[in-house]
Structure 1
């Protein structure tokens, strides 16, 4: 049935109520012209029906039905709460080029919390990340970041009317969305609008340089034949624009440190500082932080056809850092310590690109006085692609959003859900419980079975059967990485003298 109207700063909206959860879908929080910063949409006076997801952001596979002004959000709120509820604000992933809020149904988490769940749409690919200001088109933009900030502003201003507590907002995201979280958390524009942060599977190199962004823009303009008239890109049909970006991406992905063409950009304006430097200087010490990854992150990318560019760039980066001899020592160490079911090459790359950078960020936040927890998801859900690939990239996300005892459908990714096994339910329930505790209290485990990450001890929570905690800073692999890193640092110091 339909809900009563809820007032927002733009006008009243009506949602749907089912099984003690009210849902408001496709709520517009901003509007934008191509390559322009988002602005508030026109206000309305009559109640607006918000019962269907908003249009997908333009992306490969969804260019015909998508709308460029795709800036909407979705809210799930339990019925009958007797106090303001904590809020989970979620930024989806998808390599900065795919995805949308419609792939994440928050009804189950909202009811179980109880909590308010918010998912958003932001601009993707060239529409969200192509930096054209050096070519006379607009100012430094980081449009996808600005979109997400506009959604966060809307939530801060309006969520109390939906039963939420604007002072208990958890800024969260997965994969590309986790990179966005790490960047946004450090921005002056976000200060006071969130109280905790959760980043799942953030790529190790999650910020692009301004020079790289300019290089991408020049290549795209050249591919479109618009070197002398950048403004004409505003009217290029979407299929032509995305086709040009795809061709450019195939040519330059190997030139990047991350193997991806797009991402948040250190432009000096929207993002003025390297995010890790902000964590290191202690400005976010008051923000509890949970950093998570999946055990076999790289399997999905190794098995893509062709293998993802991040495979090649990660190996190259390790070889540059430690030399060919260092790479061979690492690979030999991984081969000698591999589990029976483990691919040593994949494990090395997963550590280099995903796990170690997350641990380094945890160390920075902890050393600055912040509370931080580190986790790894070791359970392979009984759902493709995880049935065949194990706990690879996104395994934790599948369990986080499951409606126990069912995995949910992912319409944008075109993945079907299905029944969960008892092991799936057990691990997913623990993962969801920890997340909801974190959203509510700022600690994922109130019983202290999972201690916070500190310099004197580096506990790593393992979500598997059974849930357990292991020391991160032990074992032959850790010791070799530490030896190679120290040797590399000493070499750099000698060269600088």
Structure 2
């Protein structure tokens, strides 16, 4: 899946800097937030809306030195009071325009610390340590599994308004998070990021009751790469019993074969490690500098691809992530919500020079509005088919019927200078995140245009509904009618929940690749040349579908 790797480039070109990452003075510790964890005492603070908050709590030791490319180790005990008042330093990653102002470093520089396995906890004011626990929701951030950090996400409103405990976790990224080199294989697999997330879930089991959470009622949820990680945890035997519901937001249910991750192309583990050793002259991979490790993947592009979510036979089945869902005996068969955004691909198409123009490097205009919309429609439908229809059908065919599906359609973004954001982005990738968290300080400089006074009442109503559905699912394992109409379970003839302002509604359910290709092949809004151009774009995205896509649209060479 290559699309996620382009996200940093897209946001960079839009000069977006996340306001959530700005450095602010640490808040004052509040005595009511002092807790005693197994590692020692901690104290947090009250957020602006009164939610007890603890930032930067370590759930594992630093992964530097001998701990690099090993399973995370528990944090040692201490006697001093830990003031959990500031977000943790991000895990090592390449700086993009989302982080350049915060770090003061140029785009392409290496940023972050290996002492990054930390998490943020947000509780409602009603939460009481040791009392009957509230539902726990562990958020796994997106970012192509190569970048991202906890400070991008503020869980205080979701916690306070929906009476849940929100945990935002950091995990190893890029070559530190996914590395399939046989020389470091000690029976722990290649998905160190997943091992981190399992460690965070174990921390929740041990500690979350101190924050008012129920360790027997844990929901994992995440978006994009975070959604794919949720799917991976569903399939991971290492995560068995550690969570009880799962929400996949614009994620995928696929993985990279182990042999390919080891020696498949220039960025697989063995050739990359050869470059590391050659650069530093040291065969001990764990002794190499961070810069050396990341430089091995630069190759002229700081966002160079590398294998991620690997079918290593330890954290994931060797047969592949998707194969796990063929039987409830081979995955963690908990209630699942999976969904996508109606216009996922508009985020990526916005900076495709074949589809748009840019003035002054940033002001986007669409070249051919009709083609742009139809292409994005078919690409986004394919995303939905892979992430929703096929995944849900696979689980249901295996006998697991506790699956719900949605589509997010909100597209009321305003204007920024000459750009009509409703047309350019619509209900694009990641657009649902501010609604789930009910926190519209997310896209940086775009926020004031996307989320403006004219759409405030309608989006606030939709955010309240989405938060209620998500929390009700976390609470009871069934979203029910918490935020609007009753949300039925998925079936081949069932309905999806359509999230759009001002309130959700049900729409007809199933879609399929054959239906998509039939519609594309006869689309009256497109010329024959445009149909084949769109078919080629679909096949370039999913190589394994190329023959089927081109043949069924009469576009094969």
Confirm or deny that 1:74 pairs with 2:120.
yes
- Contact 2:93/2:111, CA 8 A, preserved across alignment: no
Paired with 1:391 and 1:282, the residues of 2 have a C-alpha distance of 33
Correspondences of 1:19-418 after superposition (within 5 Å): 19-31=49-61, 32-33=63-64, 34-61=68-95, 66-81=112-127, 83-132=132-181, 134-136=182-184, 138-139=186-187, 140-203=189-252, 206-215=254-263, 216-224=268-276, 226=278, 231-247=283-299, 261-273=306-318, 274-283=320-329, 286-304=333-351, 343-367=373-397, 368-380=399-411, 382=413, 387=422, 388-403=424-439, 407-409=440-442, 417-418=447-448
Shift of the 481–166 alpha-carbon distance from structure 1 to 2, 3 Å rule, reads farther
Task: Count residues in correspondence.
Answer: 444
Paired with 1:372 and 1:476, the residues of 2 have a C-alpha distance of 20
Look up the match of 1:3: 31
Look up the match of 2:361: none
Q: What secondary structure, in the 3-state scheme, does the structure 2 residue paired with 1:400 have?
A: helix
C-alpha displacement at 1:454, in angstroms? 1.6
Deviation per CA, 1:413-436, whole angstroms, max 9, x where unpaired?
x66644542332232222222111
- Contact 2:118/2:170, CA 8 A, preserved across alignment: yes
Q: What secondary structure, in the 3-state scheme, does the structure 1 residue paired with 2:278 have?
A: coil
Shift of the 78–467 alpha-carbon distance from structure 1 to 2, 3 Å rule, reads closer
Shift of the 181–481 alpha-carbon distance from structure 1 to 2, 3 Å rule, reads farther
Q: What secondary structure, in the 3-state scheme, does the structure 2 residue paired with 1:108 have?
A: helix
Q: What secondary structure, in the 3-state scheme, does the structure 2 residue paired with 1:123 have?
A: coil
Correspondences of 1:427-466 after superposition (within 5 Å): 427-446=462-481, 449-455=486-492, 457-465=493-501, 466=503
Paired with 2:395 and 2:519, the residues of 1 have a C-alpha distance of 19
- Contact 1:221/1:227, CA 8 A, preserved across alignment: no
- Contact 1:202/1:354, CA 8 A, preserved across alignment: no
- Contact 2:175/2:306, CA 8 A, preserved across alignment: no
Paired with 1:36 and 1:476, the residues of 2 have a C-alpha distance of 40
Paired with 2:514 and 2:185, the residues of 1 have a C-alpha distance of 48
Q: What are structure 2's unaligned runs of at least 5 residues?
A: 1-28, 96-102, 104-108, 356-368, 522-544, 552-557
C-alpha displacement at 1:66, in angstroms? 1.6
- Contact 2:236/2:332, CA 8 A, preserved across alignment: no
C-alpha displacement at 1:144, in angstroms? 0.6
Paired with 2:155 and 2:313, the residues of 1 have a C-alpha distance of 35
C-alpha displacement at 1:294, in angstroms? 0.8
RMSD over aligned Cα atoms? 3.4
Look up the match of 2:100: none
Paired with 1:36 and 1:272, the residues of 2 have a C-alpha distance of 19
TM-score (norm 2): 0.72
Shift of the 170–474 alpha-carbon distance from structure 1 to 2, 3 Å rule, reads closer
